[in-house]
Amino acid sequence: MIRIDNVSKDFDDITAVDRVSVDINEKNVFGLLGTNGAGKSTLLRMVAGIIRPDAGTVTVDDMKVYDNPKAKRNLYFVSDTPYFFVNGTPLDMLSYVKNQYPMFNTEKYERYLKAFNLAPDRKINTYSKGMKRQLALLLGICAGTKYLLCDESFDGLDPVMRQGIKTIFAREMDERGLTPVIASHNLRELEDICDHVGLLHRGGVLLSKDLDDMKLNIQRVQCVFESEEDEKKLLAQIDMVKDDVTGSLHVYTIRGKKEETEKAFACVNTVFCEVLPLSLEEIFISETEVAGYDIKKLIMG
C-alpha cells in the first residue's frame, strides 16, 4: 500500500499540495484527477521520492520513500516529460533502466517494442510525442516494479495505442499484481480503467472514492408521474441530489442503492419510469456539487 498522510509542499509562496491524505491499495488502478496546477505532479513526485514533503509522510509498504533506495525499488515514475538520452535508442534505454531495476524483463520489452512498431535501434529523438510516451510506459511496465506512477502519460496517445496500454496494464495486474497510479486532467481518460479515483483541486483532495461504491450508491431515473401527489410521495422516500425537469418529465439523480430506488418508485404511480446508466462524469458532477463544487468548471473548462 502507498499511504499519503497529511502531506504538504510549498514552493516559495505557492502551496502546491495542501494537507493531502490518501491511501492507494495494491492491485487497483488509482486515478488522480485534477486540472493543471492542482498539485498532481508534485504529489506523484513526492510519492516517487523525488522531492521531500514539507510536512506529513509518504510510505510505500510501510517504508518512508524519500531518500530510501529500498522503498524506491518498488516504484517506477513515468514523467509527463519523459527523459531519454540524447541520440539514444530504445536499446540504450533498456541498458540504463535494467541497471537501475534488476527485475527488468528484457524479453517482454523487446516483444512490446515489436508489437507497438517501435524500432529498437532507431534514435528516440526522431520519434513523435505519442511514440515517446509509448516507449516511456513500456519501460515502466517492464521494469518489474510493484507500483507504476504515470503523470499525464496517456496524453498524446491515439485511442488504439491507449487501449493497447490499458490492456497491458490489466494483464500485468493479473499476472504479477501491478498497481498503476495514473494522474490526468481528463476525466474520460480514466473512466474505463480506474478502480478508485481521487480528485485534487488547489492542492487539496476534494474526493477520494472507490468507483464501484460510487456507481452503486447513486442512481439516475427518468419518469412522468400520474399526479402531483405521487411526486410528493416519492420525494419523501428518496435522497434527491438533482431534479432536471422538462415539461412533465423528471430526470432525478438520487443517492442510494438501485434496489432501494426501485422500491421507492414502485410505491408511486407513474406513466413512465426508467433507470438510466450514469457515466463517471455524471457521478463526479453529482458528488462534487453536493460538496459545493462544480466539476464542470474544475475539469471540463
pLDDT-derived band at 297 (thresholds 50, 70, 90) equals low
Q: Does residue 128 sit in the same domain as residue 250? A: no
Q: Does residue 121 sit in the same domain as residue 204? A: yes
CATH number of the domain bearing residue 137: 3.40.50.300
Q: Is the pTM of this model over 0.85?
A: no
Q: What is the pLDDT of residue 118?
A: 95
- Locate 280 and state its grid cell: 463517471
Pick from 212, 246, 278: which residue ends a domain? 212
Averaged confidence pLDDT in the chain: 88
pLDDT at 207 over 80: no
Mean pLDDT of 4-8: 94
pLDDT-derived band at 208 (thresholds 50, 70, 90) equals confident
Pick from 212, 235, 250: which residue ends a domain? 212
CATH number of the domain bearing residue 230: 3.30.70.120
Q: Does residue 119 sit in the same domain as residue 17? A: yes
- Locate 198 and state its grid cell: 481521487
Mean pLDDT of 52-63: 95
Contact in structure between 31 and 182 (CB atoms under 8 Å) = yes
Q: What is the pLDDT of residue 185?
A: 81
Q: Does residue 41 sit in the same domain as residue 60? A: yes
* Residues contacting 102, CB < 8 A, separation 6+: none
Pick from 163, 178, 212: which residue ends a domain? 212
Q: Does residue 21 sit in the same domain as residue 155? A: yes
Q: Does residue 51 sit in the same domain as residue 100? A: yes
Q: Does residue 48 sit in the same domain as residue 99? A: yes
Q: Does residue 56 sit in the same domain as residue 126? A: yes
Q: How many domains does the chain have?
A: 2
pLDDT at 301 over 50: no
Instruction: Read off the pLDDT of residues 225-274 as tens digits, 9 standing for 90 and up.
Output: 999 999 999 999 999 888 999 999 999 989 888 899 999 999 999 999 99
**Domain encompassing residue 248:** 217-298
Q: Does residue 148 sit in the same domain as residue 263? A: no
Mean pLDDT of 98-125: 95
Q: Does residue 155 sit in the same domain as residue 199? A: yes
Q: Does residue 93 sit in the same domain as residue 48? A: yes
Share of the chain above pLDDT 90, in %: 63
pLDDT at 299 over 60: no
Instruction: Read off the pLDDT of residues 142-188 as tens digits, 9 standing for 90 and up.
Output: 999 999 999 988 877 788 888 888 899 999 999 999 999 999 887 77
Q: Does residue 58 sit in the same domain as residue 72? A: yes
Phi and psi dihedrals of 257, rounded to 5? Answer: -75, 155
pLDDT at 11 over 60: yes
